Structure 1
Amino acid sequence: MRAVLAAPPPTLLVIAKSPVPGRVKTRLTPPYRPEQAAALAEAALADTLRTLDTVPAGRRLLVLDGEPGSWLPPGWQVVPQVPGPLDERLAAAFAHAPAGAPALLVGMDTPQLRAGTLAAPLAPGARAGADAWFGPAADGGFWALGLARPCAQLAGRLLRGVPMSTGRTGAALLERLAAEGLTVRRLPELTDVDTAADAALVAALAPDGDFAACWRELAAASEGSGFSEGSGISGASGVAR
């Protein structure tokens, strides 16, 4: 009991790009315009940060490519991403995590994330025996990676050289985790928002968030401008996954 009470709170890391048209969510265009894709990205990021605000943590760090905006809530420390490919940027993000506490990294692509999905496995009493946490994505990637004892060297061995944005990205990371001899706790599978169909699905899964509200606004606008339901913007009922 004493060890549980003394367990340090985790560090939460979010890696993101500033929602600038033409720089974020480019796979949403078409059918969305760059400005619309950026609006969805901003809403997804705002939902993610708001959710993580309710997860007990010692520090909250936004590892950002770009400049913060009005969407940034108080209490978040902004640190810059390093240049380079995604595997390098993910690995470097863990260098900002203080020693002595677990750290968990998520992206800005899962606005349907619920606080309990992270709060429960990161609670002091649930951490015993866990070396890492892994959140698989429906497309074969991953939406979360946590380390019980984070350090830049371990993060580099796990992430550098892992092929990103493929159907085997998650499997490759799991292989790295196994090679390090780490005991991994799996988190629930979530869908990343990469395509218009993903956006419709995620909006339906979390209808009360900013992302869903933005999606509905764009869907209503697309109906008025003559987009068909098959475009992926309007009609969540038409999404097949």
Structure 2
Amino acid sequence: MSPCPATLLVIAKAPIAGFAKTRLTPPLTPRDAARVAAAALLDTLDSVLRSDVTHRVVAFTGDLAAAECSDELARELAKFEVMPQRGASFGARLANAHADAARFGAPVLQIGMDTPQIGPEVLTSAAEQLAAGDACLLGPAEDGGWWALGLPTPQPARVLVDVPMSTDRTGELTRKALRQCGCRVRSLPKFSDVDTFADAVRVAAESGGRFAETFHELRDRGLVLR
């Protein structure tokens, strides 16, 4: 069978100490928080690579050379179409990433690097659902945000510029903004993303891969205090 005619877009930042996953400190040190972020990104890239889609894109920001696991990340990112993030705000960077990824002529399913527990089966299913219809897809997160946004065309992504990000109403407000511009919105399964230390504990307990391995290693070394 041919792969699903869709683009999987990952929004990612370099896992640099003091730059990535700062809400995990304390109890983690800035460098260990960055190690956790690198593991989450590597798991995410692996899931995207194993998903049955036609195009795989990463919108990246930060100095990869200064990142934890920089060599391994560079090898994995070489398997993707990598483009820089553009825009002054996070909402603007998301909107611009959708516009850039749409150049392949396929609908775009965008995810972040904060849900390492999501495997290729979930991503492929969401991409197939997106490609089969004309509705937008929104994957709600446990904290009130969202972990995935699927758009048949990039134009609706402009609403993200005016949606407050990283709040417990981001998902609700994103859905409302999409509907106000005439989009139909369908929901994907709900997942927990890793923003806080409590999130990391929960996701590590329910997943495998590098993220859980790294987090459990920190725990065994006594660096995870609670």
> Is 1:130–1:185's contact at 8 Å kept on the other side of the alignment?
no
Secondary structure in 1 matching 2:8? strand
Task: Provide the residue aligned with 2:124 in structure 1.
Answer: 119
Counterpart amino acid of residue 61 in structure 1: V
Counterpart amino acid of residue 214 in structure 1: T
Runs of 4+ residues deviating >4 angstroms: 5-8
Query: What are the ranges of 5 or more consecutive residues in structure 2 without an aligned counterpart?
Result: 65-69
Counterpart amino acid of residue 107 in structure 1: G
* 1:146 pairs with one of 144, 150, 156: 150
Give distance in 2, aligned partners of 1:127 and 1:212: 32
Task: Provide the residue aligned with 1:27 in structure 2.
Answer: 23
Task: Provide the residue aligned with 1:135 in structure 2.
Answer: 139
> Is 1:13–1:62's contact at 8 Å kept on the other side of the alignment?
yes
Give distance in 1, aligned partners of 2:114 and 2:133: 29
1:150-188 Cα distance to aligned partner (Å, 9 max, x none) = x2x4311x2111001111000000001111222222111
Shift of 1:75: 1.9
Matches within 5 A, 1:85-234: 85-97=89-101, 98=103, 100-123=105-128, 127-149=131-153, 151=154, 153-156=155-158, 158-206=159-207, 208-222=208-222, 228=225, 231=226
Tell me the TM-score normalized by structure 1: 0.84
> Is 2:9–2:58's contact at 8 Å kept on the other side of the alignment?
yes
Give distance in 1, aligned partners of 2:6 and 2:133: 15
Summarize the Cα distance change of 1:64–1:191 in structure 2 as closer, same or farther, 3 Å threshold: same
Summarize the Cα distance change of 1:41–1:7 in structure 2 as closer, same or farther, 3 Å threshold: closer
Secondary structure in 1 matching 2:163? coil
1:27-83 Cα distance to aligned partner (Å, 9 max, x none) = 001110000000000000000000011112222111111244322414211111114
> Relative to structure 2, which stretch is displaced further, 177-186 or 158-167?
177-186
Shift of 1:10: 0.6
> Is 2:5–2:131's contact at 8 Å kept on the other side of the alignment?
no
Shift of 1:121: 3.1
Q: Which has the higher contact order (CA 8 A, sep 6+)?
A: 2
1:119-143 Cα distance to aligned partner (Å, 9 max, x none) = 123227x744332111101000011
> Is 2:57–2:81's contact at 8 Å kept on the other side of the alignment?
yes
Give distance in 2, aligned partners of 1:143 and 1:121: 12
Could you say which structure has the larger radius of gyration? 1
Give distance in 1, aligned partners of 2:211 and 2:10: 17
Shift of 1:9: 1.3
Counterpart amino acid of residue 146 in structure 1: G
> Is 2:59–2:83's contact at 8 Å kept on the other side of the alignment?
yes
Give distance in 1, aligned partners of 2:38 and 2:98: 23
Instruction: Tell me how large the CA RMSD over aligned residues is.
Output: 2.0
Counterpart amino acid of residue 118 in structure 2: L
